[in-house]
Structure 1
Amino acid sequence: MSWIRPIANGLRTDHPVPGLPFINDERLPLDNPDAIERTGRNQGVGLWGRTDSLRDGGWVAFTTETKNRAYAWAVHQHPTYGRTVLLIRDQDMSSLHHDWMFGRNGFLYRHGGYWWDGAAWHRPSQVVDRAYEGYEARPVEDAITVTAADLLARPGEPGNARIMKIADFTAPKEPLPHWRDHLALWAASRQPGALPLDRCVIDLRAPELEPPHLVDRTGLAQIAGLALDDLPDPKYGRRDLPVPQTETAEGPRWSQPVARDWAEQHHSIHGPQALLSGTTAFDTEQPLGLVADHNRLTKIICDSLEDADSRKRKRGLRHGQTKHEESAADLAWWPAVALSNDPNGLVPVAALRTTLVEAVVGGLAEDVDRAGKSNRAGVSLGDIRTDVVKLLDWYILRKPGRAPALFGEICLIARLRLGLEPRNVGDLLRRSLHLDSELDGDTVDALLDLALPPSAKEPGPAGHERG
């Protein structure tokens, strides 16, 4: 997910972000999303506006702030939970629009992407579930929602705060001190009929977010089982690291569950490649399938050279190799690569993947047809055919990094087209690979633990062999 950092709260928001200033938003027609869109849309170069209806009711609206074009207004109107009004950087509009419209990750974001959907708080969306074309929602344990009424139980001093104006506004570099005073001024500015303070969500509290429980880069590396030097280097940005829950003078800090989720997704992406790699004759790490193809071609070429020249010359050679073996290894490398190299390989790998997906799903469709539409929950899934498993092996051993996408697409299509639960399809893949894969059982389990979508790793009912 993308997580943008808002710059300020609109004065008429129902859910202020802690630490941010409040800005007078009286120029925004908050009851008319089309008018908000028209404020910026087609009003000049560099201006933009947009509004869309939400699937479950309500709407979102965005517009560049015409008096201060570095910023934009973002408004989320929920039919039950009221209004969110944020000032954001103009370049962040499209990211927040995507999250609110399509992210399936709530509409309030705190602490580096913890999100609230009106029912519960969830951790930042990091673990991809390809069977559902999105991120797995992971609830926060023992989360407590903090409302404006909770914070103002100990009153602030509104006289010590002020409402800022947009025309000369500059984003503060640090959270505002004594923010409770600003919250008190916001509360005093509420209009009749506004959402009650005990329904205005400000923040969450949870044990995992307590400062003593947060981890630094060293802790993140330990949780992920990586050397500290193998973490993405902050000097080159942190796009591959999770958004921190807080920044300290010593550096970023993450909650341990967020670190574990990041580690899970990191290993899902990089683990299959590492698991199914081997060492070539040139002492480089490559997919096991490519290593096997190269070794096989090397032997064929070497035998041909030996037959043509029976004299063995061994001076100036690498240790343990004949001249023919060395020459054969060089000659065989690019033909081996060409077998599975995209997009112009001798084997059309992309087409093979599509064929594999359809072959597996086609077998599942036969099982569903036999069970009938009225018995989808009780479908008995037979084993994937041996020849299909052999092709799965061939593909995975040469493109291990693509195994998560392959398994995810199989689970996704089986769910959408056939109504099958991902966990049952995951069980079938595991059982079939154990039966017919050339990989040993431990490697099969390790691969599937890394590469299956989260929803396909859940244990399902025992299956039966295909008749």
Structure 2
Amino acid sequence: MSTDHPVPGLPFVDDSHIPLDEGPEAIEAVGRNQGEGMWGRYDPHRASGGWRAFTTDPLDNSLGWSVRYHPEHGRTVLLMKDDDTSPLHSTWDGERLLFRAGGYWFDGAAWFRPGQVWDPVEEDYEKRRARAAVTVSAVDMLDRRADAARASVVTVAEIDAEAPAPVVENWGDHLALWAAHQAERDGALPLERCVVDLATPELSGAQLIGVPEMAELGGITASTLRAYISRGNSEVPQPQALVGGRDQWARAVADDWVEARQRSHEGVRATMSAGDRDQLSRGAAEVRDHFAADFHGTLWGRPDVRKRWILRARNEDSVREIADALAWNVASSLDRVLPTHLLGHTVENAVLHDFAEAIDLNREVQARPKKSAKTKDWLHLWVSRPVAGMLAWFIRHHPESAHYYIGEITRESHTRWDIPAKDTLSTLRQYVITEGNLSVEDAESFFALLTPPEKND
């Protein structure tokens, strides 16, 4: 009842037993450490000076209250299932102040569609503004024919957490009752600033589609989409409306969903499989086809092997010999699976990048006095775990190529930063052992072949 932003259709609930006017700490304290099944939390929002909080309802622990306060845009108070308060608390972090119409959200100035397409640079979902959206305030919604006497405030005891959210038929009357309460509440926003809903062409009836159309856009069957929805698949957006008891989505939201599916791991794999019979990527299909032809040539093309298919030649030794031959074909084709000249350049540049980052960040070591004109202490060099793991793999699988590219790393490190070869090699040896899981024995044997020879006077 004490919210500044009513949700269309939902009843107003008595929240007088929650200390909403005493700050977030008081709200948190209602449920935090108050008993089994109860919890509370609050977090400040430093950018705006606001905060958000939630608590288990003390009268019914299956319900919980979520509160979002903004110094300029007032507060939102919602009663929901207690299990849903924490997820909403996390979602409310940042710019999102209000949610309406199945995930459309308001930042205080504009409305945006539900976030679905991930932006790896921002590490958040892309902000896509709702087309020609208009904010609908409480003043816009109030009807002179509404009668507050026909409305009532619901108590927590009347709410069933397991039942669908109740929908009030004469919500205009209830809004009038809320408006009267709002006029008497200290610190309440004026009605013209109380956001109730949004209006946008995206939510018009002509732009709403049902399950069959939604599924067709996504390239799946309607039954598959219904199964996703029944399982609570989080990738399926919330519907924007319920028409005749059936979910309806805005076409713009559905288009974003299709784009998100195309950019997902499954979507990328499907795109790059190019209709392969085993749904393999092009590269994996090429490897399969190469070895299929190679194995066929070994098993059938060679008469000395083909004759072993006769019954009397089928024995363990014969099978092992053929298996060894096939395994040799795979092992000798590693360069075809992962070309060493590409891998070598990649590992070289990755190591040099880690070295450069270490040198840039560790200014204290750079400023350390030199021991001599030719010698420096480079103990601060490091190699990240993924790069060390890849270098160790390279050494185990392609030692001759790894030998060459580590030599290039040593040369480039000396050219760029005047790092002695022994320090570069010592760093690489240390990290392929500790982070790359190369055995000490293998590392010592391999790097001994890279250590510069002693110079004779």
Report the TM-score, using the length of structure 2 for normalisation.
0.64
Structure 1's 358 and 233: CA in aligned 2 closer, same or farther, altered over 3 A? Answer: farther
Structure 1's 24 and 137: CA in aligned 2 closer, same or farther, altered over 3 A? Answer: same
Residues 114 and 253 in structure 2, CA contact (< 8 A), matched pair in contact too: yes
Residues 56 and 64 in structure 2, CA contact (< 8 A), matched pair in contact too: yes
Task: Give the alignment of 1:73-222 within 5 angstroms.
Answer: 73-101=65-93, 104=94, 106-170=96-160, 173=164, 174-190=166-182, 191-222=185-216
Moved more, 305-314 or 74-83: 305-314
* Residue matched to 1:60: 52
The one-letter code sitting in structure 2 at the alignment partner of 1:275 is T
| Distance across 2 between alignment mates of 1:361 and 1:142 | 50
The correspondence for 2:267, drawn from 258, 268, 271, is 271
Matched, 1:284 2:275: no
| Distance across 2 between alignment mates of 1:361 and 1:111 | 51
Residues 105 and 125 in structure 1, CA contact (< 8 A), matched pair in contact too: no
What's the offset of the Cα at 1:252?
A: 1.0
Matched, 1:242 2:237: yes
* Residue matched to 2:250: 255
| Distance across 1 between alignment mates of 2:132 and 2:123 | 28
- Paired residue secondary structure (1:260): helix
* Residue matched to 1:41: 32
Structure 1 gaps of 5+ residues are 1-10, 316-323, 341-345, 370-390, 392-467
User: What is the count of residue pairs matched by the alignment?
Assistant: 331
Residues 229 and 236 in structure 2, CA contact (< 8 A), matched pair in contact too: no
The one-letter code sitting in structure 1 at the alignment partner of 2:142 is L
Structure 2 gaps of 5+ residues are 311-318, 361-389, 391-457
- Paired residue secondary structure (1:146): strand
Residues 146 and 205 in structure 1, CA contact (< 8 A), matched pair in contact too: yes
| Distance across 2 between alignment mates of 1:226 and 1:215 | 15
What's the offset of the Cα at 1:238?
A: 4.4
Structure 1's 105 and 308: CA in aligned 2 closer, same or farther, altered over 3 A? Answer: farther
What's the offset of the Cα at 1:267?
A: 0.9
| Distance across 1 between alignment mates of 2:44 and 2:145 | 37
Residues 137 and 193 in structure 2, CA contact (< 8 A), matched pair in contact too: yes
| Distance across 1 between alignment mates of 2:352 and 2:34 | 51
The one-letter code sitting in structure 2 at the alignment partner of 1:19 is G
Percent identity between matched residues is 42
Matched, 1:50 2:45: no
User: RMSD of the TM alignment (CA)?
Assistant: 3.8
Report the TM-score, using the length of structure 1 for normalisation.
0.63
Residues 68 and 75 in structure 2, CA contact (< 8 A), matched pair in contact too: yes
What's the offset of the Cα at 1:181?
A: 0.5
Matched, 1:223 2:209: no
| Distance across 1 between alignment mates of 2:19 and 2:222 | 50
What's the offset of the Cα at 1:12?
A: 1.0
The one-letter code sitting in structure 2 at the alignment partner of 1:309 is D
What's the offset of the Cα at 1:200?
A: 0.2
Residues 105 and 115 in structure 1, CA contact (< 8 A), matched pair in contact too: no
Residues 68 and 168 in structure 1, CA contact (< 8 A), matched pair in contact too: no
What's the offset of the Cα at 1:121?
A: 0.4
Matched, 1:13 2:3: yes
Moved more, 302-311 or 292-301: 302-311
What's the offset of the Cα at 1:304?
A: 4.0
- Paired residue secondary structure (2:192): helix
